[in-house]
Amino acid sequence: PLFSPDSRHVAYIGQIGQSWRMVVDQSQGPSCGSNLGLPLFSPDASRLAYTVSRGKSFVAIVNGVEQAPYDEVAAMLFSPDSRRLAYMARRQEREFVVVEGQGQGEHLHCAALVFSADSQHLAYSATDAQGTTLVVDGQASRQTCQSILDNGRVAFDAGTCLWAIGYRDGQL
């Protein structure tokens, strides 16, 4: 089971007969087949998100509402103020980031979603044919590198300064 950050709610995946359901505070959600993602509470415990498979597609469910279907949904992340949910999605061979239901950018690969501490900015690393770059608030950096170290990890400091270490042509 997963307890909410305020410890007032609990969510878990339960099997009722042959079907699997998300159970939140003893209320059973709809039948979801056998492929449910782990639940994620927002920091203020007001929102709950998880993924389910629907045939060959996956959908995010946010407070009981299904979002658009994709070939894959991964790495769900709430902003620190709990107002925004972002996740990575794949459709065919392209990956992009979905923020509050709206897809942004199309890349060969996306990684390392991170919100700034004030929740105003979202960043991630994105790889395309030209190389790997940082995307901040949907805008890709003009500079590319061969790779961002630490599995593409990017981080905001306590303010809004973004940090990442990349290399190009053997140089950091």
pLDDT at 150: 47
- Neighbour-count burial for 3-22, b at 16+ CB within 10 Å, e otherwise: ebeeeebebebeeeeeebbb
pLDDT at 172: 40
41 forms bridges with which residues in the sheet? 48
Among residues 79, 131, 73, the alpha carbon closest in space to that of 103 is found at 73
- Neighbour-count burial for 56-74, b at 16+ CB within 10 Å, e otherwise: eebbbbbeeeebebbeebb
pTM: 0.85
- For the chain, 172 residues long, give each residue's pLDDT as a single digit of tens: 999 999 999 999 998 888 889 999 989 888 887 688 999 999 999 999 999 998 899 999 999 999 999 999 999 999 999 999 999 999 999 999 999 999 998 999 998 898 988 999 998 888 888 878 888 899 888 766 545 544 445 666 666 665 555 544 444 4
pLDDT at 144: 61
